[in-house]
Structure 1
Amino acid sequence: MKKVLFVASESVPFIKTGGLADVVGSLPKYFEKEEWDVRVILPKYLCMKEEWSSKLIYRTHFYMDLNWRTQYVGILELVHEGITFYFIDNEFYFGGFAPYGDVYTDVEKFAFFSKAVLSSLPVIDFCPDIIHCHDWQSGLVPVYLDNFRYGDPYYRGIRTVMTIHNLKFQGIWDTKRIQDITGLPSYYFSPDKMEAYKDANYLKGGIVYADRITTVSNSYAQEIQMPFYGEGLDGLMRARSNHLWGIVNGIDYKEYDPATDRHIFKKYTVDSFRREKKKNKAELQKELGLEENPKVMMLGIVSRLTDQKGLDLIACILDELCQDAIQLVVLGTGEERYENMFRHFEWKYPGKVSANIYYSEPMSHKIYASCDGFLMPSLFEPCGLSQLMSLRYGTVPIVRETGGLKDTVEPYNEFEKAGTGFSFSNYNAHEMLGIIRYAEHVFYDKKREWNRIAQRGMERDFSWNSSARQYERLYRELTE
């Protein structure tokens, strides 16, 4: 049996700030148990919910050198849904009210975490064939592994995979300071290794030293080799392109299932959504104080409110869009300017726009189950999970053709009667408005067509099963 260790900074159900946690918490459950022993290692944050932290079992502890200081490393363990999770404990690094803080404290915290992960392997008696690292927070693992191999044969057979969930976040800080924190020899801090534009870069180190690199959709794997999407690392991505895989994320089909979802008003299936879905809409209109009209087209947005998500386009045309027969429901938090923009439009168009500036898992499920269309006009989108959830709930996505959105939403073709959503290609507000109005036309004037688009979306399979098979192929290639 082959052993795989996932290294990440967050995972559901223990700690979550974004989509990374969904991937790390869900994917390990879908590997073939006879062939793969997949385990996960995380930091033990003080801000973890009591219901989980109280269940952790203490395994052992030791002390580890981090350059000139010696640090405590505690190891705790929990088996959850058949998967073994390990937690690295150190209250100096993982205290605080949130998993991440300022970048200058985070770079030290995750240098400690990366080294502690490798140092704990002999102690927990789990020597993986593959260490699968996620995002910049674990970018130093392949670098430290390279360093460890020289002095200790225990580490020589381990292969590494580096998954980029979002290239925008790289873990960058002053080289001298990172050298001081990590204690790595100076030859790691050259332009062909960890140094990028005179600073040290954790993600770059991971990309240079990993045996394989993956990212979370095929299109994004192509895009990051170009300057616009490459975030300064496009040259490196081109250089390593023959070791780069694009594997689309999935979603947990048990968690997101309109037939069993405990958060929604009225459950439905692909056979009953034509009748039952609008009952969810009526209840949500009542709950949010929107005009109660089951026939009006309702659009949803569930998102972090940042410029990456294409909100500038929405700001440009929202006045025009609100002249149409639509309702808009927004859920999420983020940059103040976008939060206030949606609050302003709710004030300006009462009964038409509902701005819910907070995050709530139950409310997100209600929006997926109630809306007719789902708007996601991202500037860039490595994979995106919201469009997969909306497809699952028969809510038709309206997206920009980038990254994972392009790979997962097939644009509607009225001549071939094909497609699962609507899409536009240029980052242009009126091109987006045009496609929204085309969607309105289909919704109001060709209702049967609209229902077929929704049905095709519900019938697509974006569960973790197909992604897990691709990761297994990648692991086999590495271990054979």
Structure 2
Amino acid sequence: MNILFMASEAFPFIKTGGLADVAGALPRALMKRGHSVHLIVPAYQSLLARIRAGEVPSVALKLTTTLTLEGERVALWRTRLPGTRVTVWLVDIPAFSERSGNPYTGLDGRDWPDNHQRFFRFCQAAVAVATNRAGLNWSADLVHANDWQCGMACWLLRQTPSAPPSVFTIHNLAYHGLFSQPALYDLGLPDTLWQPDYLEFYGQLSFIKAGLVFAHRLTTVSPGYAREIQTPDMGHGLDGLLRARHDDLSGILNGIDTEVWHPGRDRYLATPYNQHRLQRKSLNTADLRKQLGLTMITEQPLVGFVGRMVAQKGLDLLLAVLPEYLQKSALQLVVLGKGDPHYEQAFAKLALTFPDTVSVTLGYDEALAHRIEAGADLFLMPSLFEPCGLNQLYSLRYGALPLVHAVGGLGDTVVDEGNPVRDNGFCFHRPQPDALSAALSRALEMYEKDTSAWRQRQRNAMGGDYSWNQSAAAYDQLYQKTLSSV
């Protein structure tokens, strides 16, 4: 079938979170299953600049057509996903291509005030492509829209005669795409949408509700998260709507790009290794310690964290627990991330307090992220909630045993049952410091006293299949089911 895959970011073009990894990998996996997949992404200024500067290898830009939507000129640039046959359309409006900065926020960290207009226009352009009104001689059999930035496309498709059906994926329900009521009129939307059954959400306009209400099928990125978001505790005010659409909601676990994340062929590593040559992993640990200026004490396990520095990631739990272990010289800590200044400052202070055993790098560095996975013995993900999580999958692949709060996709992928044949990490089940500390103590005790059990968990972890193959097959079945029901 012809699939139009909509996303507000896609790796390696532009990335702020896990959505970009999904949008850069799932279309490729679907192509391998015989589908024609076109990816459509906003033409951010930084994205165009990177392509033109050759920073995204082996791709070129071609201006293909120009549309007029609501009196505004919209250009469509054509390129492709590097290393694939996936066609990529970049939607060029001035609010995207003539504005530097984060895709969603300004330099002050606040949302761009015209986000409702920017992403509504993006949705209009996507619908024009999907319905062959963009002059591209291509139309979609199905549109796969992702997160709130693409939600309005699901409503627009419902208003368009003979339009294809849509599948809408929730990557993180905490982000609704909320705007004030005047945004409804700015966009020329009908008053009938301003009610709780449609797009009104406690006095605000919700873009994500457009996807949740009007898409033909809903998915989220793990079976566990699909169950959790139907509860008041995890539903962010939308649990009633999601329970009402229970029969249309599926949880499909994300995969990872196993060519990019391959410890045996990772270009960023000093020493390649695999589950049969696990002893070589320690050479990467030594290399990481040297790179980051940590004391070369091999008896101490190296513990890693890579991620956004926001409350969701359980950073308050880490800050409550880690100082005690660092004071006892029980571990070394490597942190890579950026986010809330409060957390950035707290971890920077931790590095100043323990300069020989803690390294904190603020920002994002792809090479360092790979080296942390390869060098870490233990990887921390104490998230308060986690729709799927990708870093635990990278960690499993690299034998850096994940220690997780067993929620969402973390609980679906990390096994800690006391079964040596299946266990591949460590879990705790209450988002409290004492629960995290108990799991960490248990992991450190195994590392110190039971090398054979530790090695077995590493082999179990590295022996799993974390590719997109199974996930793409599940999406394939869902697409077929969607088409047969409309």
Q: Contact 1:170/1:201 (CA < 8 Å) preserved in 2?
A: yes
Kindly state the Cα deviation for residue 92 of structure 1 after the two structures are TM-superposed.
Answer: 3.4
Kindly state the Cα deviation for residue 14 of structure 1 after the two structures are TM-superposed.
Answer: 1.1
| 1:118 equivalenced with 2:130 (yes/no) | no
Q: What secondary structure sits across from 1:354 in the alignment?
A: strand
Match of 2:246 among 241, 251, 254: 241
Q: What secondary structure sits across from 2:40 in the alignment?
A: strand
Kindly state the Cα deviation for residue 319 of structure 1 after the two structures are TM-superposed.
Answer: 1.8
| 1:352 equivalenced with 2:357 (yes/no) | yes
Q: What secondary structure sits across from 2:144 in the alignment?
A: strand
Question: Greater CA deviation, 457-466 or 41-50?
Answer: 41-50
What TM-score, normalized by structure 1, do the two folds share?
0.94
| 1:455 equivalenced with 2:454 (yes/no) | no
Q: Contact 1:321/1:433 (CA < 8 Å) preserved in 2?
A: no
Percent pairwise identity: 37
Q: What secondary structure sits across from 1:333 in the alignment?
A: strand
Residues 17-416 of structure 1: pairs in structure 2 closer than 5 A: 17-31=16-30, 33=32, 35-48=34-47, 50-53=49-52, 55-65=60-70, 70-80=71-81, 81-98=84-101, 99-101=103-105, 102-120=111-129, 121-122=132-133, 123-149=135-161, 153=162, 155=163, 158-175=164-181, 177-273=182-278, 275-322=279-326, 323-413=328-418, 416=420
Kindly state the Cα deviation for residue 311 of structure 1 after the two structures are TM-superposed.
Answer: 0.4
- Distance in 2 (alpha carbons) for counterparts of 1:305 and 1:144: 35
Give deviations 1:310-334, integer Å, cap 9, x for gaps.
Answer: 0011111122121242101111111
Q: What secondary structure sits across from 1:397 in the alignment?
A: strand
Q: Give unmatched runs, 5+ long, in structure 1.
A: none
Kindly state the Cα deviation for residue 406 of structure 1 after the two structures are TM-superposed.
Answer: 0.2
Q: Contact 1:392/1:457 (CA < 8 Å) preserved in 2?
A: yes
Q: Contact 1:10/1:20 (CA < 8 Å) preserved in 2?
A: yes
- Distance in 2 (alpha carbons) for counterparts of 1:401 and 1:111: 36
Cα 1:141–1:49 change in 2 (3 A) is closer
Q: What secondary structure sits across from 2:46 in the alignment?
A: coil
Q: Contact 1:46/1:91 (CA < 8 Å) preserved in 2?
A: no
Letter of the 2:404 counterpart:
V
Q: What secondary structure sits across from 2:309 in the alignment?
A: coil
- Distance in 2 (alpha carbons) for counterparts of 1:361 and 1:436: 27
Q: Contact 2:69/2:121 (CA < 8 Å) preserved in 1?
A: no
- Distance in 1 (alpha carbons) for counterparts of 2:8 and 2:222: 21
Give deviations 1:43-99, integer Å, cap 9, x for gaps.
Answer: 11111153424621011112111xxxx100111111331101111111234422221
Letter of the 2:179 counterpart:
W
Kindly state the Cα deviation for residue 33 of structure 1 after the two structures are TM-superposed.
Answer: 4.4
Q: Which residue of 1 aligns with 2:5?
A: 6
Question: Greater CA deviation, 133-142 or 41-50?
Answer: 41-50
Kindly state the Cα deviation for residue 288 of structure 1 after the two structures are TM-superposed.
Answer: 1.1
- Distance in 2 (alpha carbons) for counterparts of 1:417 and 1:187: 56
Q: What secondary structure sits across from 2:225 in the alignment?
A: helix
CA RMSD of aligned residues (A): 1.4
What TM-score, normalized by structure 2, do the two folds share?
0.93
Letter of the 1:136 counterpart:
W
- Distance in 2 (alpha carbons) for counterparts of 1:463 and 1:202: 31
Kindly state the Cα deviation for residue 256 of structure 1 after the two structures are TM-superposed.
Answer: 0.4
Kindly state the Cα deviation for residue 412 of structure 1 after the two structures are TM-superposed.
Answer: 4.7
Letter of the 2:5 counterpart:
F
